[in-house]
Structure 1
Amino acid sequence: MFAVSLGDDGAQLRPLEPWQAEEFLAHMDRARDLVDPWIPFAAAAADLESARALLRGYADKQAADTGRIYGIWLDGTLVGGVMFRIFDARSGTCEIGCWLEPAGQGRGLVNRASQRLIDWAFDTRGMHRVEWIASAANTRSTAAAERLGLTREGVRRQANLYRGERHDQEIWAVLADEWWAAR
């Protein structure tokens, strides 16, 4: 398996695969309170079987070139991750997402890992547009998008039904030429 260094602090970006379901579930148990209010991702990994199924789904997406998932390890412990929730090479558009547990917060891990994914999408895969979609109430996520230099394009009012409640979604994005001009 490959690992990409995210800096001098021992942080690494690695693929998350079905065989890591036990480690992923333990991590989700630590991250659940931070992730679950915003997205069903944590609830989708409630036990070993469902954690394995979630990772298998992303392995299938990677095989079909429609998505990918990566973990962020800090000193050998899985503390978060980033993913291409949607990856549409034909249209040149993809959506990036992220999550962290408390031990990973405040270290710039999401920023560094997201930069790697965005660089890869534009430089290696020739994508045209990277999107970041978050609940408008998830200020940590929208702040991360802003720190990355993405542009807030608008709000889809009450577009997301989650746990019986409608949430506004903010759409953030960056185009390839904007990304490279800012780097």
Structure 2
Amino acid sequence: MFTYPIDRDTSLELLQYKHAEALFYLTDTGRSYLGKWLPWVEYTKTIADTRAFIQSTLQDFAGQFGMTVVVLYRGAVAGVVAFHAFDWINMKTSIGYWLGEQYQGKGLITKAVKVLIDYAFGELRLNRIVIQAAEDNVKSWAIPERLGFTYEGTQRQNERIGNRWVDHRTYALLKEDWQPLTST
């Protein structure tokens, strides 16, 4: 299983059933905040929904289709970071993330995404990573900008959240442009 300590307070761990209650609680208590940016929030109504999500991510991991990890901060589930899907033929993937509102401003997602980038380019030998973020979600698209991704444009009406369409800023990073954590 994937486990990665980042610093004294923060680590990443493969999303597992043992995280279901804490993950559902984080989703449920952050529903109004998270629901502005994430379409799945309105469909996550019970802990059974969270368990079904975990089951699908474990199946993706077993089949090498994707990987979802929880961000643990001082032992608590703070959020999720994921490789949405691996495209092995074209050696690329995309990364998505979300964090409970109370955990923001600590650099947790930036640290977690750095680890996944190193993993993707080093261990998985991928060549390209994409991150998309809602045009209005400045905190979210600040992450790829902070990490040296290149802005490639905006996809109009790329996602439907509730009754509204959301434009997404698209960023990409190539392996040749990344400075691994071990070199800093």
TM-score past 0.5 threshold: yes
SS in 1 for 2:106: coil
| 1:23 maps onto 2:12 in alignment | no
Structure 1, unaligned runs of 5 or more: none
SS in 2 for 1:46: coil
Further displaced range: 124-133 or 34-43: 34-43
Match in the other structure for 2:3: 3
Residues 7-156 of structure 1 correspond to what in structure 2 (within 5 A)? 7-8=7-8, 10-156=9-155
Query: CA separation of 1:12/1:30 partners in 2, compared to 1, >3 Å: closer, same or farther?
Result: farther
Q: Deviations over 1:9-33 (max 9, x none)?
A: x111111113421221112123333
* Preserved contact between residue 31 and residue 100 of structure 1 (Cα < 8 Å): no
Find the aligned partners of 2:103 and 2:115 in 1 and give their Cα distance.
17
Question: Alpha carbon RMSD of aligned pairs, Å?
Answer: 1.8
Runs of 4+ with deviation above 4 angstroms: none
Q: Residue type of the partner of 1:25?
A: F
Find the aligned partners of 2:42 and 2:58 in 1 and give their Cα distance.
19
The percent of aligned pairs where both chains have the same amino acid is 29
Q: Deviations over 1:142-177 (max 9, x none)?
A: 111111111110011122222222221111110000
Structure 2, unaligned runs of 5 or more: none
Find the aligned partners of 2:90 and 2:151 in 1 and give their Cα distance.
21
| 1:170 maps onto 2:166 in alignment | no
TM-score using structure 2 length: 0.91
Q: Report how many residues are paired.
A: 182
Find the aligned partners of 1:17 and 1:90 in 2 and give their Cα distance.
28
TM-score using structure 1 length: 0.91
* Preserved contact between residue 23 and residue 79 of structure 2 (Cα < 8 Å): no
Q: Residue type of the partner of 1:4?
A: Y
